[in-house]
Amino acid sequence: MNKVLGISGSFHRNSNTDTLIKTIMEATKAEYELIKLSNVNVGYCIGCKKCVQTSECIRNDDFKWISKKMLEADAIIVGSPVRCNTVTAVMKTFIERWNSFIHVEQHPLKDKLAVGVVIGWTGIKPTVEWLTKVALGGMGGMKVVGAVTAQGYHGSFTCGNGEKCPRSAWNMGKIIEMMMNQDIGIEKMCEGRVEALPDNEPLTNPSYKILDSSYVSVRDQPDAMQKAEEIGKIIRVKLQNNVV
Ligand SMILES: Cc1cc2nc3c(=O)[nH]c(=O)nc-3n(C[C@H](O)[C@H](O)[C@H](O)COP(=O)(O)O)c2cc1C
C-alpha cells in the first residue's frame, strides 16, 4: 500500500493546517500519518558539514526516525501557518535539517510527490513560494503537485488590547507594507473585520474599530477544502498509475 506522510508546523491542536493536510492525505486513500513538529524534538542544523559525504545527518534526535519515514513515503504533505511572513520556526528548523539529503548524486527524495499547505492572511504568497520552490522542489528534490492555502485566525484582533492597540495586525501590517512598498494582504485581511477611523495613523495614533474577531475555520472555507481533496485525488491517481 502507498504511504503518505504529513508534516505540520502548526502548534494548535486540530488546527487549520492539520485539517488541510489530513484532508489531502485522506483523499489519497493511501496509508497515512501526520507528524506535528511541535510534538517532537528536532534540533537546529549546526552546519557541521558531516552530511556532505553520506547525505545523512549525524545529530541524534527525532530527525533520525522522521527522515526514515520521509524516505519510506510515496508522497509528503508539508504544512505551516504563516509567521512573520514565512513558515513557523519549527518548520524552518526541520527543513534546514533535510538539507542533509542534497549531497549524493541521486537525491533520495527525488521520486516523492509533494504538496505545500499554508495558513494565514498576510504573507501567503512568499511563504507558498518558498515552501514549494525552495524547500520541497529545490532542496527537497521532490515533485511538487501543488499547494493549498486558507485563512487563519486573527491573534492581533483578540489579544484584549482593543481598538487603541498600536500593534494591531492592521497597524503593523500597514507599516510593513509601507516599508516593503508592497501589498502584503492587509486590506483583504481586514475587510469586514476592522474599520480604520479617519484619524487613524499607524503606530502614532491608532484609531480603528474591530467589527469581527471570530476564528475562521478552514471547514468554513469550501474552496480550500475542495482544493485539498482534489490534490489528494491527483496524488491517488498518480500513485495508482505509478506516474511519479
Ligand atoms: C508570532 C506569530 C506571528 C504571526 N505572523 C503572521 C503573519 O505574518 N501573517 C499571518 O497571516 N498570520 C500570522 N500569524 C497568525 C497565524 O498565521 C495564525 O495564527 C494561523 O491561523 C495559525 O494557523 P493554525 O491554526 O493552523 O496553527 C502569526 C502568529 C504568531 C503567533
* 165-204 tens-digit pLDDT: 766 777 788 888 889 998 888 888 888 888 888 888 877 7
CA atoms within 13 A on the CB side of 66: 24
In 3D, which of 109, 45, 116, 44 has the Cα closest to residue 80? Answer: 116
- pLDDT of res. 156: 62
- Cα of 58 from ligand 1 centre, angstroms: 32
45 is written with which cell numbers? 542544523
Ligand 1 pocket test target in 38, 119, 179 with most atoms within 8 Å of CB: 119
Please tell me the distance between residue 120's alpha carbon and the centre of ligand 1 in angstroms.
6
**What pTM was computed for the model?**
0.92
Encode pLDDT of 4-41 as tens digits: 999 999 999 999 999 999 999 999 999 999 999 999 99
Q: From CA 101, how far away is CA 160, in angstroms rounded?
A: 45
Return the domain boundaries, the chain: 3-153+216-240, 155-210
Contact 121, 193 (CB under 8 A): no
What's the distance, CA 213 to chain centroid? 22
Domain 3-153+216-240, second-level architecture: 3-Layer(aba) Sandwich (3.40)
- Tell me which DSSP letter residue 88 carries: -
**Residue ranges lining ligand 1, Cβ < 6 Å:** 10, 12, 15-17, 81-85, 119-123, 152-153, 155
Ligand 1 mean position, distance from CA 130 (Å) = 17
Nearest residue (by CA) to ligand 1, atom 20, is 152
pLDDT range class, residue 155, cuts 50, 70, 90: low
